[in-house]
Amino acid sequence: VIVVDDQLLLRILIGQEPEQLRSARASGVATTMCWFYRLSRAIAAGSTTGKLSGRFAALNAPRQGEVTRLVNELPGGIVTLDPRVVVPVMSALSSVASANLLTTEAVATALVLDADIAVSVRSALLERTSEAADVRVVLFD
Amino acid sequence: MATRIADLPQPLAAAVARARSQVSVRPKTLPPRDIDPVIAAWAKDAIDSGALAEAIAEVAAADPDLA
């Protein structure tokens, strides 16, 4: 199992992921509530403001709705952990490394699933926290 | 990846062991989704152009817990 960030999640949803990621997720793919939420929020905000808004304007209304559904209707094959399982690990992890909610959830999820974390962008905080918990982070760009 | 629970400090090791005992993840294949090619191309362009990354950065800037 591999835990993917928000941009890689969207690539998987549209079937445009790097070949190495396709191989890496052969035994399953997971994401976190925070990455799922951040992607959904970015798309929702982008529908009205920012650099994405011009691209949204190029789509007709039904297709704008399809973009939102694409992101918000996560397929059942993508694993997300029940908070009752992951929150105690997040809490315990905070005694090892101090991080924000997104990073703590990502590393805790990887620990529970015994998984690597796949990211599209490097994050010093994520790398520091994952190293403290002996979790591997792999960059796919 | 195999994170050895025994190598983790307490109380993290105990929390991870308890959580793993509650989770059973079997490999799942994602069935191909019937996605409108226009939507797929739109999303690919949003990623490749950096527009999505910019939108995500804006969310993260507004909420440090999502950075």
* C-alpha–C-alpha distance, residues A104 and B24, integer Å: 21
Task: Give percent of chain A above pLDDT 70.
Answer: 100
| Closest Cα in chain A, distance from residue B62 (Å) | 11
What is the interface pTM, i.e. ipTM, of the complex? 0.92
pLDDT at residue B1 in the model: 60
Judged by CB atoms closer than 8 Å, whether chains meet at B23 and A102 is answered as no
Q: Among A29, A42, A63, select the one facing B38 at the smallest CB separation.
A: A63
User: Quick check: A51 contacting B, CB < 8 Å?
Assistant: yes
Measured from the Cβ of residue B20, the count of other Cβ atoms closer than 10 Å reads 17
pLDDT at residue B30 in the model: 81
| Closest Cα in chain A, distance from residue B18 (Å) | 8
Question: pLDDT confidence of B23, banded at 50, 70, 90?
Answer: very high
Say if CB A118 and CB A4 are below 8 A apart.
yes
User: Quick check: A29 contacting B, CB < 8 Å?
Assistant: yes
Judged by CB atoms closer than 8 Å, whether chains meet at A70 and B15 is answered as no
Q: Which two tokens stand for residue A11?
A: 């690539």
Q: Which two tokens stand for residue B22?
A: 């509650």
Q: Is the pLDDT of residue A48 over 90?
A: no
User: Quick check: A33 contacting B, CB < 8 Å?
Assistant: no
Judged by CB atoms closer than 8 Å, whether chains meet at B18 and A37 is answered as no
Q: Is the pLDDT of residue A138 over 90?
A: yes
Question: pLDDT confidence of B28, banded at 50, 70, 90?
Answer: confident
Listed in sequence order, the residues at least 6 apart from A36 whose beta carbon sits closer than 8 Å to its beta carbon are A6, A9, A74, A80
Question: pLDDT confidence of A56, banded at 50, 70, 90?
Answer: confident
User: In A, which residues are within 8 Å of B52 by CB distance?
Assistant: 7, 10, 42, 46, 52
Judged by CB atoms closer than 8 Å, whether chains meet at B51 and A136 is answered as no
DSSP character at residue B31: P
Listed in sequence order, the residues at least 6 apart from B63 whose beta carbon sits closer than 8 Å to its beta carbon are none
Say if CB A118 and CB A8 are below 8 A apart.
yes
Whole-number mean pLDDT of chain A? Answer: 94
Q: Which two tokens stand for residue A124?
A: 């010093």
User: In A, which residues are within 8 Å of B58 by CB distance?
Assistant: 42, 45, 50
Q: Name residue A29's beta-bridge partners.
A: A2, A78
Q: Beta strands A78-79 and A29-30: pairing type?
A: parallel
* C-alpha–C-alpha distance, residues A109 and A101, integer Å: 12
Q: Which residue has the higher pLDDT, A70 or B3?
A: A70
Give pLDDT tens digits for A99-132. Answer: 999 999 999 999 999 999 999 999 999 999 999 9
pLDDT at residue B67 in the model: 95
For residue B12, the chain A residue with the least C-alpha distance is: A92
What is the Cα Rg of chain B in Å? 19
- Dmax (CA) for chain A in angstroms is 49
Which amino acid, residue A98? S
Q: Is the pLDDT of residue B33 over 90?
A: no
pTM over 0.90: yes
Residue to substitute from A9, A22, A41, interface B, most B β-carbons within 10 A: A41
Q: Is the pLDDT of residue A7 over 90?
A: yes
Question: pLDDT confidence of B48, banded at 50, 70, 90?
Answer: very high
Q: Which residue has the higher pLDDT, B8 or B24?
A: B8
